[in-house]
Structure 1
Amino acid sequence: MFIDRIKDVRHVMEDNEVEALLLSVGADLPYFTGYEAMPLERLTMLVLPREGQAKLIVPALEAPRVQEQPEIFSLRPWKESEDPIAILVEELGASRSVAVGDTTWTRFTIELLNQLPNLRLSRANSITSIIRSKKSPDEIKRLKKAASAVDRIAARLQSGEIQLIGKSESQVSNELGAQILEEGHHRVNFAIVAAGENAASPHHEAGHRIIQEDEIVLCDFGGTWIGEDGVGYCS
């Protein structure tokens, strides 16, 4: 699966005259490698050239979390005594047209430009979204599995099986989060519960307000279901 995705994205890179992709924290990295990086102050970066071996640069302390897949990428752990940007520059080689992941920390991009001021940067999303927007039958199956899980929770809300009246917003939010995990999700992304006047705020943070009879209660919740390959799908 990952091999096919990398092959496909390289075709798009060629069409757009992009010589290398730089993918750090965010959804693109696990989509192409199965590895989800922690949002640390230390650099994690997949260097995916249009031709040749991809290299995953990771802090040495994070390397044990990476499942090595030599057919997809080689691993380059860096120590605290090393400069990860210098390693990144070395891995880029002669590449000058580079697409950077949207959620890459700005400090790393600035430090990279300080060392390679002639880089031509673009958004990696303009490349990766072309691949990610086309869902395979297996991906559709996974998305349906994630969605069906929260649909069952929504049905329990509508039937009254999950009690609202007399409970605080935060109590209901915690219950929704617990049920998301019980339904097989690996993490809760959000569980918004907003009662009465709070329902006017779609991103309200659940608090101590007690839910009363005959009032509007806004509930919006979802999580991430992660497959054995490390790729997550949101409900």
Structure 2
Amino acid sequence: MSSVLGARVSALQRRLDEQDADLAVCFPGPNLTYLTGFDDSPSERHLLLFVPRTGAPTLVAPELYEQQLRACPIDDLRVWADEDDPLDVLATVVSDLDIGGVQATGRSTEPTPADTATVLVDDRMWATFTHDLRDVLPAATFDLLSTAIEALRIRKDDVELDALRRSASIADRVSVEIRSRGTGLIGTSETALAAEIEDLLEAYGGDDTAFDTIVASGPNAALPHHHSGPREIEAGDPVVLDFGTYVDADVDGGTGRYPSDQTRTIVAGDPSAAYERVHEVVREAQSAAIDAIEPGVTAGEIDRAARSVIADAGYGDAFVHRTGHGVGLEVHEPPYIVADSERELEPGTVFSVEPGVYLPEEFGVRIEDLVVVTADGVERLNDSPRGWETGAQFRDRNS
């Protein structure tokens, strides 16, 4: 197993020991990718990773995946054919791992108090697989894997941070190129501009889009999750641009895609005075939130730092979403930067800071950067300009 993936498995096993849990079981998704570097969608076939409190992990997979998984850094690979009963395979694995008094020949024995085990299952595991695990471990206590692995995934390692920085850099480059077009954006439809953004993300090294690209112009900008449509950008329109892409992490023996997520609100031409005021308020709110970030500060304090600036300016009711969300193998993951969160920020935590003001049927403004908590403060992963200017105005201001 690669040093990176091996360190993650060992860290999970330490968490299992601390929680007096015996076994973690992962299902295709971000947790499995985090521990093995294998990334695939779930199917009706049993593909499960078993991580015991001590000893080597075991990966159970359908035979048709065997060639793909030979490159996966898990030494104990148990493949099964379609004519096999996968429950027999599960029973064999938990027996070999000495979990819960299971015998491979009989699926399970009559449990005694000493046979009981605590099993942490992937939060997103399909019910059918959880049911099968209960069938082979009838005396086990089941809980969610997030209770152990969430604290690990929140603190990004150097490989993850490198990927996130590279992905953010691609988004920055596209942001600069789009706003440099200035009045050339006028007459372009939202969908056409979204397609252009996606082409540029790929051209600059991105792999697919991290989420549906948002181009929201004029009154559509007042809709935080607007779906880009046929509306054409007009002179003076505020335009919210929210986009990101993936890059692969550099993990020996595996992979893992890490996204960018950036928002800028720009204007082609001259904006209204009301827009300029709101834009400045949102910039100040984002700066206040980022200035407050350091280890030990709670996520709720960061949300309140941004929200208070907007409320003091008279737009409190128009800030209708949380200040941010964690970013890693998933675009949205813990921690969530919400007002009532008491989660303390730790070095290595990556999240968005994206305050916004939305005035229905008029316009909206959102500015978003990804940040990482450092040992003594914060690092912005995005550094493209955050002003509204485009074209000649943008070049003059940033020359």
Counterpart in the other structure of 1:158? 179
How far apart, in 2, do the equivalents of 1:60 and 1:222 lie?
A: 35
> What are the equivalent positions in structure 2 for 1:49-68 lying under 5 Å apart?
49-68=52-71
How far apart, in 1, do the equivalents of 2:22 and 2:14 lie?
A: 11
C-alpha spacing 1:9/1:160, structure 2 compared with 1 (3 Å): same
Counterpart in the other structure of 1:201? 223
The CA deviation at 1:14 is: 0.2
Per-residue displacement from partner, 1:17-55 (whole Å, max 9, x unpaired)?
111111112211111111112232323211111122211
C-alpha spacing 1:153/1:81, structure 2 compared with 1 (3 Å): same
Counterpart in the other structure of 2:201? 180
TM-score w.r.t. length of structure 1: 0.88
1:223 maps onto 2:245 in alignment? yes
The percentage of aligned residue pairs carrying the same residue is 29
Counterpart in the other structure of 1:4? 7
Per-residue displacement from partner, 1:132-156 (whole Å, max 9, x unpaired)?
2223334322221111111111122
Are 2:16 and 2:53, in contact at CA under 8 Å, matched by a contact in 1? yes
How far apart, in 2, do the equivalents of 1:188 and 1:147 lie?
A: 13
Amino acid at match of 2:190: E
> What are the equivalent positions in structure 2 for 1:1-235 lying under 5 Å apart?
1-69=4-72, 72-93=74-95, 94-95=99-100, 96-160=117-181, 164-190=185-211, 191-229=213-251, 230-235=255-260
Describe the SS at the equivalent of 2:245: strand
User: 138-147 or 7-16, which moves further after superposition?
Assistant: 138-147
How far apart, in 2, do the equivalents of 1:111 and 1:200 lie?
A: 47
Aligned residues: 234
How far apart, in 2, do the equivalents of 1:179 and 1:22 lie?
A: 39
Amino acid at match of 1:199: A
Describe the SS at the equivalent of 1:82: coil
Describe the SS at the equivalent of 1:175: helix
User: 11-20 or 181-190, which moves further after superposition?
Assistant: 181-190
The CA deviation at 1:67 is: 4.1
Are 1:68 and 1:74, in contact at CA under 8 Å, matched by a contact in 2? no
C-alpha spacing 1:100/1:164, structure 2 compared with 1 (3 Å): farther
C-alpha spacing 1:162/1:174, structure 2 compared with 1 (3 Å): farther
How far apart, in 1, do the equivalents of 2:80 and 2:218 lie?
A: 52
C-alpha spacing 1:153/1:79, structure 2 compared with 1 (3 Å): same
Q: Which one has a bigger Cα radius of gyration?
A: 2
Are 2:187 and 2:233, in contact at CA under 8 Å, matched by a contact in 1? yes
Amino acid at match of 1:79: A
Describe the SS at the equivalent of 2:119: strand
The CA deviation at 1:119 is: 2.5
How far apart, in 1, do the equivalents of 2:149 and 2:227 lie?
A: 32
Per-residue displacement from partner, 1:177-205 (whole Å, max 9, x unpaired)?
22222222222122122223322332222
Per-residue displacement from partner, 1:56-77 (whole Å, max 9, x unpaired)?
122222222224345x442222
Amino acid at match of 1:224: Y
User: 157-166 or 180-189, which moves further after superposition?
Assistant: 157-166
Are 2:160 and 2:249, in contact at CA under 8 Å, matched by a contact in 1? no
The CA deviation at 1:115 is: 4.5
How far apart, in 1, do the equivalents of 2:63 and 2:238 lie?
A: 51
Are 1:22 and 1:124, in contact at CA under 8 Å, matched by a contact in 2? yes
The CA deviation at 1:110 is: 2.8
Per-residue displacement from partner, 1:199-225 (whole Å, max 9, x unpaired)?
233222222222222222222111221
Amino acid at match of 1:60: E
How far apart, in 2, do the equivalents of 1:164 and 1:228 lie?
A: 37
Per-residue displacement from partner, 1:80-109 (whole Å, max 9, x unpaired)?
222334422432232431111122222321
List gaps (5 residues or longer) in structure 2: 101-116, 261-399
The CA deviation at 1:162 is: 10
